[in-house]
Structure 1
């Protein structure tokens, strides 16, 4: 059948819907129908395609859609469409022979409301509501199957922004630098599923879920650029929890817009904006601060919110009060996109929704396994609250044949199979002696995120073996190096030995393995101890002639990596970023906590740290808790990096932290309040709401007074 990928169809909604229904209704027709895509740059500005069909039976067919009955100069429009598509496709070597494409570009003007069509001669074609497929069946794909695959790839590729920003010139063919270059070249293009996630456009709320490394941040950035090109009059905002994502978003949006349209984005219409924000210049502004200012209500800074609402409730309390203070909020944006939703309070997501003009276009993305705060993302029916009549304001998964409202990205393009399986095994506690720590709410989510049931049954109380396949974990991500080099665990007797090994390994990476300093990131999972813990290693590297930066401390809060420098970071700033080589210090801190909630959060830190790696990871630690992690990893290795465990019963699930909870005819579960003041405080520091120097001074005063 023909799969429909719904881009922006707001200019010609009726004709778009009728074309999609007419073509997808025939099971004997196959291919992809793109609505509102692609956008092609031209000397007169971006040219938006109404729709294109890519079919192994009928080839490439572009559609010129007409909403009413006036056809106008359809021949000139068809000529322009064919010319622009030819320009777009000819740079792809596999699609041309000499100077000509290996296939025809057919264009059809589709006017469903037009009852009687005038006669035309090829290459001009007309169709109405009764006969689009009968016209298309006159076309035939005459080229080879390989050419068709290349055509699909050329149409589906949204952009090639994953490639490294600086050209690599390794000196050794088998060095890590050379291997990293080949990896980056292999993942330079978005895959088909990611491309569809970029293009699919909803007039309402859209949720994007996916594993670490599945491309959520990239999809959001490209969606901003795509919809900005389609709707240059829209006011668009993209917000997030990790400030170091700001420059990444700016770069991705800029690159995509230039690549697709030939022009830079209009930054007056796009805000890459913090979540909380505060008074000052535009870079310090935030969604909450802007909401307060626009609606004439009091803005609460972190200290004031803390006094008013208490520990861990600062931001949620401030947002809830702001919402309650305004009956008819001023619309701030036509579209908002939220990254890292798992680390933002539900009150903030509601505030974002209330900041939108009708019809409330909001896209939010998350991976609950990367939650570092203990919060769980509610089902959308609960997340956005109820209307006056008690019905949910937002419902997803409506199977109406339109654009998808709930998208799951199952393929991981950052982490190899062994790395991702290690992250999941440790994150869930699959091989933990004391049993699981957390589990998905819906059993089917395991297959949604790319696992297959290799043995057993994915059902309550049953033994099951879950494995990743080459379809969801591409083999090139692991075949470049022996598995024992991809991931290593190292236990040390003390901090000095850990630091010495780390420094020597980094020196070897740079001087013997062709890695650049910026290819290396060192993560300390405990955010409040990071500055102290990484100090000795940074000093020794400096003595050895290797520069480093402590992200957000010695660099701007909006910058994560710096050319020519190894990056040291706490776990919060690491989120959303990636590197070829990841070193994790003091991993023992992630093994367990005072209860299962704290244990789950510690393991989420380890999961998040491991999944920053594009190639290699070294997990370092000290003491008996490090033995716990190593024992679990050894069991995973013995099972060939497959997850073999007894699936929990409903009663057992009730004792675990539930991930990706969905509404299934039951009310909201009361979740345990956690005492994660350190993490909340660090987030406030990173958002710029707390002065780190003042915090250090206050901690020193407490220590001197004997209260710390």
Structure 2
């Protein structure tokens, strides 16, 4: 309980912070991202009632939930004096698109510039998220975007990402439109605008691109959410505790979603130990192998290497849901049936039992989720709903005007609606996203199992599993290799042991360090002013990187490749650069106090005016280096190669000039 209260305080702390620029909130499913954004928006509105604030999301089925949360936190923070008013123009809840009867961010900007709002049918794509990107690109090309808002907060940020071919000048179109619609926090720093986005890339159902700053705003602004603001507010937050979903279901969701126990190796996911730790897992390497590029796994949380056996364990304090402790039976079950009739018969019997004996309410406490893509999922949704009705159960299909309507009319519907009093909601995955229920039934695992290497289908399964607040029953028909994998995952409980075989199809990075390495690998070189305090970069290849003004205090850079890197006025206090290669690196004015540079190659490096107080340069190669006017007080450079070193104006180790 102490851990829980500490995290509540941490969450409230983040929720009340108003950053002086962009902020990214990366949180695992059920960690409270939506709650936190609503807290943030409410706090901003109460503290700055003159600000124009928009809280934005993609799925209209989230409207009621978000308005309810906003109202709750406004009343909480104002001692009951202020609630959410839908007609209030200063604090708006907007879905991304906008419709005739309900403004969205895109339609609001269209109205402000006098441009006709387009809809999905006006685009080539016809898929809502890709179509949105198309209309945003058109608007960005046609109009100068007015700065309408002081802050824009985006929930479920992964839903608004598109693939590379739909980008606008290397940027994500919707995010760039939102960024352009924001006022700069200060005229002297026009790039600092309050765009705050929350996401979980494990829940991406369309594009698999990850919403980091360089992906959203282009490489030149890729540093925007690295490190801290001057007041101590983090530019990126990671939420690692899951409140909603019981531990055994969450770990199973990660295990099956990433394919950790797949016979031929993981499909997608995290390959650095520090990133697993950042989302709440403990990492044990069962055979200590050395990666010559990334350093020694046993010494620091580095990248997994092929052939390495890994154990991941999720401690109970990071999944504080109490149901598994109070319930003596498994909270997660998977059954494979011979045919669909058998699967649906069992589903109906289970729901009837829930209603009669478990005292669960049909609406909001029971949810049926149908897996699959496109027409296949629509067919199964209808079949499930039809069968449940034939067994005397009332059902609800999202967006219908009432219960027991199998196919909601396009003209007569309520796109914001997900629940209907007295009816069990039967939903495909896109509508179910962001919603939750005590008892969740996930039907049609065979639709995923037929194409088990499809990452979007794996992500569907992850999203479906993490809707559960208490119990989950998963089912499918036939026999597939994925079923064996699912049973292995369930048997593993709160820990997985697997052999890392090869890099996954899609690598997920969570920490600033991982993001930096990924950006570098894809050609990014601008990491100016990045805050990488304590970063685990042993063996990293960062040749010719721009790290001017970067903060690398206490960073682990052993064996790092930094030839030609620009580290001018960078702060490397206490960093370990043993055996690092810094040939021709530019370290003019850098702070290198108490740095470990044993055996490092600093040949022809520029170190003029650098502060090397008490640095360890034993056995370092300094041939041809420029140390003019450097402070070398207390430096130990025994056995170092000092041939052709420029020491003009330098303060020597003994204090002499």
Structure-2-length-normalised TM-score: 0.67
Q: Structure 2, unaligned stretches of length 5 or more?
A: 162-171, 186-192, 287-296, 403-413, 525-657
The one-character-per-residue Cα deviations of 1:477-526 (angstroms, maximum 9, x if unpaired) are 41121352x01101111111111110010000000111111210000012
Give the aligned partner of residue 463 of structure 2: 608
Aligned residue pair count: 470
The one-character-per-residue Cα deviations of 1:363-401 (angstroms, maximum 9, x if unpaired) are 100000000003312431342136xxx565734323645
Q: Given the alignment of the two structures, is residue 452 of structure 1 paired with residue 268 of structure 2, yes or no?
A: no
SS at match of 1:244: helix
Q: Given the alignment of the two structures, is residue 479 of structure 1 paired with residue 334 of structure 2, yes or no?
A: no
SS at match of 1:381: helix
Identify the match of residue 309 of structure 2 among 453, 456, 463: 463
Per the alignment, do residues 656 and 532 of structure 1 end up closer, same or farther by CA in structure 2, a change over 3 Å counting?
closer
Question: Which range moved further: 513-522 or 549-558?
Answer: 549-558
Give the aligned partner of residue 225 of structure 1: 42
Q: Given the alignment of the two structures, is residue 376 of structure 1 paired with residue 209 of structure 2, yes or no?
A: yes
The one-character-per-residue Cα deviations of 1:407-433 (angstroms, maximum 9, x if unpaired) are 111100011111011101100101112
Q: Given the alignment of the two structures, is residue 589 of structure 1 paired with residue 447 of structure 2, yes or no?
A: yes
Per the alignment, do residues 311 and 223 of structure 1 end up closer, same or farther by CA in structure 2, a change over 3 Å counting?
closer
**How far does residue 217 in structure 1 lie from its aligned partner after superposition?**
0.9
Give the aligned partner of residue 242 of structure 1: 59
Give the aligned partner of residue 498 of structure 1: 343
Q: Given the alignment of the two structures, is residue 402 of structure 1 paired with residue 240 of structure 2, yes or no?
A: no
SS at match of 2:195: strand
Per the alignment, do residues 592 and 199 of structure 1 end up closer, same or farther by CA in structure 2, a change over 3 Å counting?
farther
Provide the rounded CA distance (Å) in 2 between the counterparts of 1:321 and 1:451. 43
Give the aligned partner of residue 155 of structure 2: 339
8 A contact 1:335–1:361 mirrored in 2: yes
Provide the rounded CA distance (Å) in 2 between the counterparts of 1:655 and 1:498. 33
8 A contact 1:213–1:413 mirrored in 2: yes
Provide the rounded CA distance (Å) in 2 between the counterparts of 1:231 and 1:435. 51
Identify the match of residue 476 of structure 2 among 598, 621, 636: 621
Give the aligned partner of residue 483 of structure 2: 630
SS at match of 1:203: coil
8 A contact 2:275–2:509 mirrored in 1: no
8 A contact 1:525–1:585 mirrored in 2: yes
Q: Given the alignment of the two structures, is residue 191 of structure 1 paired with residue 8 of structure 2, yes or no?
A: yes
The one-character-per-residue Cα deviations of 1:320-367 (angstroms, maximum 9, x if unpaired) are 22223334x212211111011111132101111111112221110000
SS at match of 1:624: coil
Provide the rounded CA distance (Å) in 2 between the counterparts of 1:656 and 1:385. 20
Give the aligned partner of residue 181 of structure 2: 355
Q: Given the alignment of the two structures, is residue 524 of structure 1 paired with residue 370 of structure 2, yes or no?
A: yes
Identify the match of residue 393 of structure 2 among 534, 543, 546: 546
Give the aligned partner of residue 214 of structure 1: 31
Per the alignment, do residues 368 and 592 of structure 1 end up closer, same or farther by CA in structure 2, a change over 3 Å counting?
farther
SS at match of 1:419: helix
**How far does residue 620 in structure 1 lie from its aligned partner after superposition?**
0.7
Give the aligned partner of residue 117 of structure 2: 299
8 A contact 2:243–2:321 mirrored in 1: no
The one-character-per-residue Cα deviations of 1:51-93 (angstroms, maximum 9, x if unpaired) are xxxxxxxxxxxxxxxxxxxxxxxxxxxxxxxxxxxxxxxxxxx
Greater relative contact order, per chain length (Cα 8 Å cut-off, separation 6+)? 1
Give the aligned partner of residue 171 of structure 1: none
Provide the rounded CA distance (Å) in 2 between the counterparts of 1:294 and 1:399. 32
Per the alignment, do residues 315 and 540 of structure 1 end up closer, same or farther by CA in structure 2, a change over 3 Å counting?
closer
Per the alignment, do residues 502 and 251 of structure 1 end up closer, same or farther by CA in structure 2, a change over 3 Å counting?
same
Give the aligned partner of residue 197 of structure 2: 364
Provide the rounded CA distance (Å) in 2 between the counterparts of 1:432 and 1:615. 27
Question: Which range moved further: 427-436 or 508-517?
Answer: 427-436
Give the aligned partner of residue 577 of structure 1: 435
8 A contact 2:229–2:235 mirrored in 1: no
SS at match of 1:560: coil
Higher helix share: 1
Give the aligned partner of residue 512 of structure 1: 357
CA RMSD in angstroms, aligned pairs only: 2.8
8 A contact 2:225–2:236 mirrored in 1: no
Structure-1-length-normalised TM-score: 0.62
**How far does residue 452 in structure 1 lie from its aligned partner after superposition?**
0.6
Provide the rounded CA distance (Å) in 2 between the counterparts of 1:378 and 1:536. 36
